[in-house]
Amino acid sequence: MATAIKDKSDLPDYAKSTADRIEALGFKWEFEYKYPIQAPDTVQRVQIRDTAHEAPSAEVTRYAAAMKRGDQFPPGVVTRDGRYVDFNSRAKAAHKLGWPDFPAFILNARFDTASDSERERLYLLGASFNTTAGKRLDRKEVADIIRKVAGNPDWTVPQVAKLLGLTEGTVKSVFAQFRAEERAERLSVHFNGSITESNKAMLGQRSEKLTDQPFAEIAKLTQEAGLTSEELRDLCNRVQDEAESEDAKVAIIQAERYAREAQIAHFKATAKKRPPESVNLRKRLGWITGFNAKVANLLDYNPATAVEYLKQVEEASALLQQLAEQQRKAIREAGVEAS
């Protein structure tokens, strides 16, 4: 084997950007023009992709055809103990062609004995090659990589976003999801897959403003009732706006749970969301009461529709009056004082 290159000035131009990316994550390297290609089933990898997405046969065939006609490919990247960090499809294509070797960088880290910091940086390095070139990682794969560093306060959202070529919003969302998952687990709330990623992100973003019990109760209700993002946001706002005590905050969540009993049962049985009609009406009433100081904006001056509109308003007003009377009765029977 030829002497390894260790100085960036001696690298071929097509390898320099790869060296830059390696160095940005704190690794040293050696470059081999003729890194030995092994049989694919004998090689271990730093797991960046879902196993089902690793080097699809159609992609390997396409790479092999391009290599055969002389297209330039970036070098592979491997650890000192031979794990592929970014090399899988190219190595398989080279093996398919019967090539004995291929250019590759060898890092100054062994995966099997790597520290936590080294492993985090290896995952980020491998991901960075697959969010900016070649077959991109899917959303779940990207999120899984970000989660590997989200628990380490040394990594910031801007740093990770820059390294992976992602928006800060994308990375911030996954960091928040991780915070929600970690805290929920600590509070014995086990997310079972029914809560959406956007709701986990919202819980993570609100986490600092909620003490343990309200956070746990909101997380459980969100999962059991299949709350939408809008419903979760409304509940969090009402709980955060309650300034009296933690008990008062929990009481708001318990009242919401009681109002959604039918929804919870339906969601448990069908995994489909069906909010109670009282919740749907509350949203619409909130829109109407927003015109409290500007009722004139709701007037209909069109002669063709004004009479029918008045009839609808009067019917709705009468129905709401009936509802108010029955709601007062239900409150009294529940032993609660209406304000």
Structure tokens at 60: 């390997």
Overall average pLDDT of the 153-162 stretch: 96
Q: For the chain, what are the domain ranges?
A: 8-163, 174-294, 299-339
- pLDDT at residue 86, rounded to an integer: 93
What pLDDT, in 10s, does the model give residues 226-242? Answer: 999 999 999 999 999 98
pTM across the whole model: 0.74
Overall average pLDDT of the 155-179 stretch: 95
Nearest C-alpha neighbor of 201 from the set 233, 174, 240: 174
> Is residue 56's pLDDT more than 90?
no
Overall average pLDDT of the 288-298 stretch: 87
Pick from 34-38, 130-134, 335-339: least confident: 335-339
pLDDT band at 339 (very low <50, low <70, confident <90, very high): low
Strands 29-36 and 101-107: antiparallel
Three-class SS of residue 30? strand
pLDDT band at 135 (very low <50, low <70, confident <90, very high): low
Rg (CA), the chain: 29
pLDDT band at 38 (very low <50, low <70, confident <90, very high): very high
Nearest C-alpha neighbor of 193 from the set 171, 223, 230: 223
- pLDDT at residue 250, rounded to an integer: 95
> Is residue 326's pLDDT more than 80?
yes
* Cβ partners under 8 Å of residue 4, min gap 6: 30, 31, 32, 106
pLDDT band at 2 (very low <50, low <70, confident <90, very high): low
Overall average pLDDT of the 246-271 stretch: 91
